[in-house]
Amino acid sequence: MKLPSQPRNAFSIARQADDVFTIGKPAARNGKIADAAARRETDQRLTEALEFAESIIAVIPDILFEMDPNGRYLQVWTKHPETLAATEQQLLGKTINEMLPPEEAAAALRAIREADEKGASGGHTIRIPQQNGEPRWFEHYVAKRPGNKPSPKTFLMLSRDITERKHAEQVSDEARTQLLTVLQTIPDMVWLKDIDGVYLLCNHSFERLVGKLESEIVGKTDFDLFGADVARFFREKDLAAIRAGGVLVNEEWVTRADSGEHILLETRKVGMIGAEGKTTGVLGVGRDITELNASREKIHRMAFFDSLTSLPNRALFYERLGQLIAGTLPPYQLGAVMMIDLDHFKTVNDTMGHPVGDDLLFQAARRLQEGVRENDTVARLGGDEFAVLLPGIRHGEELANIANKFLETFNEPFILNGKEVFVSCSIGVACYPDDSTDANDLMKYADSAMYSAKRSGRGNFRFYSKELTASAKNRLLLESELRRAIERGELEVHYQPKVLLGSGIMTGSEALLRWRHREMGMVPPATFIPIAEETGLIVDLGRWVLREACETAAELNANGQPSHKVAINFSSKQFQRPDLVAMVAEILAETVCRPAWIEIEITESLLLDEKNETLATLSTLRTMGISIAIDDFGTGYSALSYLARFPIDTLKIDRSFINSDDERSAELVKAILSIARCLGQSVIAEGVETVEQAAFLAANGCNAAQGFLFSKPVPKREILKLPQYLNVSVRSAI
């Protein structure tokens, strides 16, 4: 591009040209003849100034216009004529109003007027259609043409093509708009604060939390929007996020302004880094995790708490026991583990139903909780087994007092399904560190002590000793051996005669299971029967005993001999079998035993059945011709209503009443005999050992008895040989 020869057409170096002319003025004023050397110097400087101006214009990418005050194009300089609204020839001499759309022309004229008033105007952006019809964006900077020489006023306009920047800004704005749209639609709360904690933006979810519009939130701080405690917490976490240099996660309870609901808010905060690498603010995202927190708590409770009693479960108990062992107890203090088991719980559960059993467990849990200190832990380990962790015990007497307190609370009756039921408990105690420093050992030792308490009569407590461990191991051995006893042929059925007190005639016998171990010898029933009950082996043993007893009854009643009825003890677990009646009928048929030759003995606990399943089973057995007796009457859940509802033929007075010297026991025996007479039931006394006992029973109307006075239990071969009359002089003692 060639510059015009007139210096007024130069941009940015006009003042240099004016200076050149000014240099020559003194010579003209003095009327002196210009020195040829001076003129050459002046021309040279002017040429250099024009060349400098031409080089500047040649390198800049912008468009340069010279215009008059009315916006008429006087000169145009550009390296890219294709970016002009028209050709250079078309522009020169025309005004802005003629060449640009009205709105853009008005903006350009406003810039010229501003430059006229202030000397310069810049940063005006207008959209100009190109010759090819494509619009482009330009940024205009306008200034008065420099120079001291009086001349018509003109303006220089630098027009910079910012189309690409404008497109980038549009893309950025669109992305920002889309981002803000997304932020407004997501359920999470989003906000941005500056470094001082002043809100710069937020979304609708945050508006709903605060109860204000974004316009009311922006410019405020947390101290303007929340309570002082919450605001301080948020500010502390903002600063912590800035220091952390990464995402910081926190949880805080806040109150929703829209509903007043107290919610748990999970916040994730991260510092925003500016162009210079410095933190300029904090971006926060909040989520309502109230329901999630409830689910977490529910899962935690499911994992560590018993659903029925709400007590800690086995896992949490072991965790706290481990913490006790890992910690340091003060000097001369102990930690203790108590194992507590409800006595006869299975009987209540089996006879009164599982819902009633659950109610018993729930009530028992409340009583145990009421009997401990604040820092103690009561847990339900499963079934009817509870455990108590007792840290900071000073001496053994303190443990004994706590155990006795538990026992006393269980002396009060439980109200189950509207009825009073007495259920005791047995407690075993092991101490840390005296007994062991291992959690599993402590639990095992306390369990051994608890079983010792059960074996010693239930309803009491025992401390652990090494002998208990040996006893527990022996019990496991017995269980294993008992499972093989039938196949090894080690079991026997002995029979104890039942005798009429008035005549000495043997009318029947009770079948009693005996275990003759090949190495241990005769194992007492009191040792292995509880094991059979607890392990469920009693069902198989009961079936075997029934078959043996039926075969014996058939032999005893063969060949027209006087009737001999064999009594067989049935466990409550056998009554839980739906095939009990079918099993009895099958064995009777196989052994050719008449139902009239069999009597089934049950315990009073079976009469607690609320679903009447036991009643239905007993009624069916009675219809078959089998008689029903209540064993150990008076020691369990005695109630006259049971005797009236159930098909009971015989009451068996427990040996504890017969062998007692207490006058009250004698009166109870008389009362039982009177009740039986009123209900038309027969009575038989157990454990009769002396003539005086037999005479007392006969005098008060008891017509039958069994006991060592008449015969001890004998094997089958001996019961078959016993005479019909057992010579015992009872009448002489009356």
343-375 pLDDT, tens digit per residue, is: 888 888 888 888 999 999 999 999 999 989 888
Helix axis angle for 345-352 and 354-370, nearest 10°, is 140
| pLDDT of amino acid 349 | 84
| pLDDT of amino acid 19 | 44
Asked if 313 contacts 380 with a C-beta cutoff of 8 angstroms, the reply is yes
Non-local (6+) Cβ contacts of 615 within 8 A are 609, 645, 646
Report the phi/psi class of residue 496: left, alpha or beta, with left for phi > 0 and alpha for psi in -120 to 50: beta
CA distance 201 to 219: 9
* SS3 letters across 474-505: HHHHHHHHHHHHHHHCCEEEEEEEEEECCCCE
DSSP letter assigned to residue 281: E
Judged against a pLDDT cut of 50, whether residue 137 lies above it is answered with yes
Alpha helices in 332-465 (DSSP H): 345-352, 354-370, 396-409, 439-455
CA distance 471 to 480: 14
Q: What share of the chain is helix, strand, coil (3-state, %, to 5)?
A: 45, 25, 30
Asked if 219 contacts 198 with a C-beta cutoff of 8 angstroms, the reply is yes
Of the candidates 250, 249, 242, the residue with the CA atom closest to the CA atom of residue 272:
242
| pLDDT of amino acid 610 | 59
| pLDDT of amino acid 86 | 85
Alpha helices in 119-213 (DSSP H): 163-185, 204-210
The pairing of strands 155-161 and 63-67 is antiparallel
Give the confidence band of 663 by pLDDT, cuts at 50, 70, 90.
Answer: confident
Instruction: Please give the residue that has the higher pLDDT: either 730 or 116.
Output: 116
Mean pLDDT of 295-313: 85
Give the confidence band of 59 by pLDDT, cuts at 50, 70, 90.
Answer: low
Q: List beta partners, residue 416.
A: 419
Count Cβ atoms below 10 Å from residue 172 Cβ, excluding itself: 10
Q: pLDDT tens, 8-30?
A: 444 444 444 444 444 444 444 45
Judged against a pLDDT cut of 80, whether residue 689 lies above it is answered with yes
Domains and CATH numbers, the chain: 7-164 (3.30.450.20), 186-293 (3.30.450.20), 305-464 (3.30.70.270), 486-733 (3.20.20.450)
| pLDDT of amino acid 223 | 93
CA 299 to chain CA mean position, Å = 2
Cα–Cα–Cα angle for 155, 159, 160, rounded to 5 degrees: 150
Amino acid at 635: T
| pLDDT of amino acid 573 | 86
What phi, psi does 683 have (nearest 5°)?
A: -130, 140
Q: pLDDT tens, 428-476?
A: 999 998 889 999 999 999 999 998 888 877 888 888 876 655 666 777 7
Non-local (6+) Cβ contacts of 516 within 8 A are 490, 491, 492, 522, 523
| pLDDT of amino acid 172 | 66
Mean pLDDT of 31-46: 70
Instruction: Please give the residue that has the higher pLDDT: either 122 or 269.
Output: 269
Of the candidates 497, 495, 426, the residue with the CA atom closest to the CA atom of residue 463:
426
Give the confidence band of 594 by pLDDT, cuts at 50, 70, 90.
Answer: very high
Alpha helices in 137-282 (DSSP H): 163-185, 204-210, 214-217, 222-225, 228-244
Instruction: Please give the residue that has the higher pLDDT: either 364 or 34.
Output: 364
Mean pLDDT of 46-58: 71
Share of the chain above pLDDT 70, in %: 88
Helix axis angle for 439-455 and 314-326, nearest 10°, is 120
CA distance 499 to 684: 9
Mean pLDDT for the chain overall: 84
Asked if 365 contacts 311 with a C-beta cutoff of 8 angstroms, the reply is yes
| pLDDT of amino acid 294 | 83
| pLDDT of amino acid 153 | 84
| pLDDT of amino acid 637 | 54
Judged against a pLDDT cut of 70, whether residue 512 lies above it is answered with yes
The pairing of strands 650-653 and 385-393 is unpaired
Judged against a pLDDT cut of 60, whether residue 255 lies above it is answered with yes
Give the confidence band of 278 by pLDDT, cuts at 50, 70, 90.
Answer: confident
Give the confidence band of 293 by pLDDT, cuts at 50, 70, 90.
Answer: confident
| pLDDT of amino acid 365 | 94
Judged against a pLDDT cut of 90, whether residue 577 lies above it is answered with no
Q: pLDDT tens, 89-106?
A: 888 989 988 888 888 888
Share of the chain above pLDDT 90, in %: 35
Task: Write out the DSSP string of 419-447.
Answer: EEE---EEEEEEEETTT-S-HHHHHHHHH
Count Cβ atoms below 10 Å from residue 651 Cβ, excluding itself: 26
| pLDDT of amino acid 253 | 85
CA 565 to chain CA mean position, Å = 59
| pLDDT of amino acid 21 | 41
Q: pLDDT tens, 170-225?
A: 776 776 777 777 777 778 889 899 999 999 988 888 888 888 998 899 999 999 99
CA distance 342 to 336: 20
Cα distances from 679 to residues 334, 648, 653, 673, 704, in angstroms, run 58, 9, 15, 10, 17
